[in-house]
Amino acid sequence: MYRLLADRLARLLASVGSIGHFLSDTFRGLSEPSVWVGLTVAQMRRIGVNSIPISLLISSFTGIVLALQASYTLSGVVPLYFVGVLVGKSLMLELAPVLTGLALAGRVGANIAAEIGTMRVTEQVDALETLAFDKFSYLVVPRVIAASIMFPIVVALSIIVGIVAGWITSINLLDLSTIEFFKGLRQFYQLKDTWYPLVKSVSFGLIIASIGCMKGLSVAGGAEGVGRGTTEAVVDAFWAVVLL
Amino acid sequence: MISFRDIKKSFGDKDVLQGFTLDVQDGETMVILGYSGTGKSVALKHIVGLLDPDEGEVEVDGRVVHTLDRKGLRELRSRIGYVFQFAALFDSMSVEENIALGLRRQGLGETEIRGRIRESLTLVDMDGSEERFPAELSGGMRKRIGIARAIALRPKYILYDEPTTGLDPVTTAVIDELMVRTRERLGVTSVVVTHDLKSAYRVGDRIAMLYHGVVRQVDTVERIQRTHDPIVRQFIDGRPEAAGESERMTGDFAL
């Protein structure tokens, strides 16, 4: 019993230690901007721009469902322009960042872990190091910075598209005018509704890319190891998004 | 000069190197020979700091590798070319970009880089392959590009990790000839890890036989060929049992 507890505690401490090492090595990797700046731009396209279609698809359906659901729930209870309130607030504060975060945890987290994991088992990471590159400057820093910059942009676009989808649904399928919809949208708007999802999505980008890189770099054992590392990256990133 | 001093290295409960000691003189080609999985590649990775020893130290030109800071390690690696077992080419880059990456890291100008790429590809008989990607190359071609990537850096040392494993006999001979040519033309010091005897005889000046994590014998190629050591003899003759001993060569450690 005590031995089991001691083993688990030792594993937990080892995990905390490896996370600490990873973070300190990543900060150290920042000291070589000549290596990571150019690579960051390329990663911004891969991580951010290529993620836009799936994010917009999710947010547009979310906007449509929210508008319809709000009208069913609010009809006869409060004025219908509250559909705009519900669509706007829900998308901005929770649904757009969280749903986008979950989608990108799968897409970006898996992509990063599989790519770096494959490089690890084919000795490409070792090859980078023998060519005098720091693997954190070359592989980790560009991905973490790119995700931290691009996630808020993707989330902002998701919010806009979700609201537009909710508005189009409202004026076409519900008995609501454009003026009423936007009256609701403005009614309870606060500045926090803008910065809160953006800050949240920065933290999602940071954590999802970090988990992907960490799992990728710790891959061992060939194709099976890459598969295991990728799965762990996605599961851990999902948990992180839910908990954050 | 490269010196391994009483290196001990374990992975979990597996003791791979158990007091590995060896000196590689400047200008020579040292072959580290041994059964598959006995820690030859592990020893090689200590030279460039990809692995740190649990005990002991590796010295390159008088500097202890595992005590070097980032800058020191970077400077050391810029003097060493490393040819990986399966070439380890970056699959998202063309041949030209693979070779140019290390040269750009050294801060060379684009004209110089172009010249070095051409020169190294000529040396490995792969002219005209600049635009090709690793996925379009055969195993032998990949290894040649791996060698080109290493020699383009004009290193003082080249480390070859199982350079002929998995190749047909003709391609093996081509790679061996290439290693000899590289040493003759560039005057580099080489460490070759292999379990291929023919290859070891062709390229080596001296051979070190690694057995159970320590050097069993180190000597010139001619003397190794005439050795009476039962374990080395068993390996050379390719017999399952060592002569006069019940001891059997085993290799439990793979990296």
Nearest residue on chain B to A125, judged by CA atoms?
B88
DSSP calls for B22-51 = EEE-TT-EEEEE-STTSSHHHHHHHHTTSS
Using CB atoms, which residue from B75, B86, B105 is nearest to A133? B105
Q: Percentage of residues in chain B with pLDDT exceeding 70?
A: 94
Q: What are phi and psi of B7, to 5 degrees?
A: -75, 130
pLDDT, tens digit (0-9, with 9 covering 90-100), for A46-69: 888 988 999 999 999 999 999 888
Whether residue B86 and residue A122 make contact (CB cut-off 8 A), yes or no, is yes
pTM: 0.86
pLDDT, tens digit (0-9, with 9 covering 90-100), for A105-118: 999 999 999 999 99
Q: Which residues of chain A have pLDDT under 70?
A: none
Asked if residues B172 and B185 have their Cβ atoms less than 8 Å apart, the reply is: no
Predicted local confidence at residue B187, as pLDDT: 87
- Give chain B's contact residues with A (Cβ, < 8 Å): 45, 48-50, 70, 74-75, 77-78, 80-82, 84-86, 88-91, 101-102, 105-106, 153
Cα–Cα distance, A100 to B215 (Å, whole number): 57
pLDDT, tens digit (0-9, with 9 covering 90-100), for B30-53: 999 988 888 999 999 999 999 999
Whether residue B105 and residue A131 make contact (CB cut-off 8 A), yes or no, is yes
Cα–Cα distance, A150 to A155 (Å, whole number): 9
pLDDT, tens digit (0-9, with 9 covering 90-100), for B107-134: 999 999 999 999 999 988 889 999 999 9
Predicted local confidence at residue B253, as pLDDT: 43
Predicted local confidence at residue B244, as pLDDT: 52
Predicted local confidence at residue A120, as pLDDT: 94
Cα–Cα distance, A98 to A78 (Å, whole number): 28
Whether residue A28 and residue B101 make contact (CB cut-off 8 A), yes or no, is no
Predicted local confidence at residue B242, as pLDDT: 61
Predicted local confidence at residue A150, as pLDDT: 93
From chain B, pick out residues whose CB is under 8 angstroms from the CB of A122: 86, 88, 91
